[in-house]
Amino acid sequence: MSSSGPPTWLVALLVVLALAAATTFGIFLDRNAQAAAYQNQYNALKLELEPLRSRHANIKDQVPKLDAMIKARREQNLSLEEYEKTWSASLDTMVQANKSRLGEIGDWNRKEVKTYADLMREAPERRAEVGREEQRAYAQEHDFDENRRKLRDEVSEVARQLEVDKKKGRSEIVRLDARVAELENRVRFLTNQLDSESREMRPDGALIAAESASSGFVVIDRGTRHNLRKGTRFTVFAQRAGKNVVKGMVEVVRMEDRISTCRVLLEKDGNDPFIDGDLIHNPVWDADRVRTFAIRGDFRRFSRGELSRFIEEAGGRVDAELKVGTDFLVAGGAAEKWTESAVKLGVAILSEDQLLDFIRPQE
C-alpha cells in the first residue's frame, strides 16, 4: 500500500528518539546545573575557609581536621568532574545500549545528591563546632591572662615586701653591730679590770700549819669570826722578788672561831711544797663583806644551779634580784635586757667563762 508520508513505525521511532534525546538533554542540563551549584557551593566554602583559618590560627588541633575535610571535598569534586566527563562522552552510547540504565543512573544520582546534601547539612555543624572551639580557646586564653596578671601582682607584692624586709634587716644589722661594738668594749673593759684584780692577788690570810700538807690538809688563820664558810676555796701563793708565785689550791672543810682546816685540792710542784706563812687569796671572799652575784640568761657549759654552787664554794652569794648592791651580773644568752640594766646600775658583767676563770682560776 502506498503512502504520501513516512511509515508509522518510523514516526514512532523518531518520537521515541526525540523523547529519549529530550530526556537525556534534560538530565544533562539538570546534572550540569547541580554540578554548577556544587561548584558554587565549593567556591563559597573555599572563600569561607580562608577567613576561618585566619581567625582560628591559634586552634592548631582544628586545622588538620579542616584540611582533611577540604581535601576530601576536592577529591569528591575531582571525582565528580571526572565522572561527568566520562558520562558525557558515553551518554549517547549508554542511551542507545541500555535504556534501563537510566533508572540505575537516576538512583545513583539520587544517592550522590543525598551524600552531598548530608555533607552540606554537616557543614553548619562543623562551623558551629569550630565556633565553640574558638570560644573555648578564647575563654582559656582569658583565664590564662587573668592568672598571669594575678601572678605578676603577687610577685610584685612579694618583691616589695622583700625589699622592705631587706631595709629592715639592714637597719637591724647596723643597730646590732653598734650594740655588739658597745658590748665588746664593755667586755674588754671588764676583762682588763679582772686581769688587774687577778694580778694584784691580795692576801686574804696565811697558812699556819702546813707540815700536814703531805697528808692532804693544812690550817689557815681564818675562821667563823672572819665570815668564812665551809667549801670556800683559796689559792695558795708566795711572794718572791716582788712577784706572786701560785703554789696550789685548798678548800675549807672544818671551821673554828679563828682557824680553819682546809683540804688540799692542788699542789702544783712537789719540789715547792706548802709551808707556814704561805698566803691565801680568794677573789670573791672578803672577811668584811660577801660579794654578791646575779645570774641571768642561758649557759652552754653549766646550769644556773651549778654556777650558783661554784659561786658559793668560792665564798660568794647569789642574789635572786639584780639591784644596786649587786657586785656582778653573770650574763648568758638572751640576757640583753639584764645587761642593759646592769650597765645602768653600774654592775660589772661577767660571761660564763669569765666567771669560771674568776672564781676557779687554778682548776
- Is 311 found in the same domain as 226? no
Query: 70: Cβ–Cβ under 8 A, 6 or more apart, which residues?
Result: 45, 46, 49
In a domain? residue 92:
yes
pLDDT on residue 273: 92
Domain count for the chain: 3
Let me know: does 260 contact 220? Beta carbons within 8 Å.
yes
Opening angle at CA 193, ends 191 and 198, nearest 5:
90
Rounded CA-CA distance 125/59 in Å is 17
pLDDT on residue 222: 93
Checking 53-59 for CB contacts under 8 A at 24+ apart, the result is 55/134, 56/130, 56/133, 56/134, 56/137, 58/137, 58/141, 59/130, 59/133, 59/134, 59/137
In a domain? residue 171:
no
- Is 333 found in the same domain as 267? no
CA neighbor of 360 nearest in space, from 312, 303, 295, 325 = 312
pLDDT on residue 236: 95
Rounded CA-CA distance 100/188 in Å is 126
- Is 291 found in the same domain as 265? no
CA neighbor of 255 nearest in space, from 291, 214, 286, 219 = 219
- Is 30 found in the same domain as 86? yes
pLDDT on residue 41: 85
- Average pLDDT, 10 consecutive residues per value, the chain (363 residues): 70 88 88 87 82 71 75 84 78 71 79 81 80 82 81 84 82 75 59 49 90 87 85 91 91 92 92 94 81 92 92 85 90 90 88 81 45
pLDDT on residue 56: 67
Domain span at residue 81 reads: 8-147
pLDDT on residue 1: 47
- Is 257 found in the same domain as 240? yes
- At which of 227, 252, 282 does a domain end? 282
In a domain? residue 168:
no
- Is 79 found in the same domain as 14? yes
- Is 33 found in the same domain as 100? yes
Q: Edge to edge, what strands does the sheet with 317-318 contain? A: 317-318, 292-296, 328-331, 348-350
pLDDT on residue 279: 96
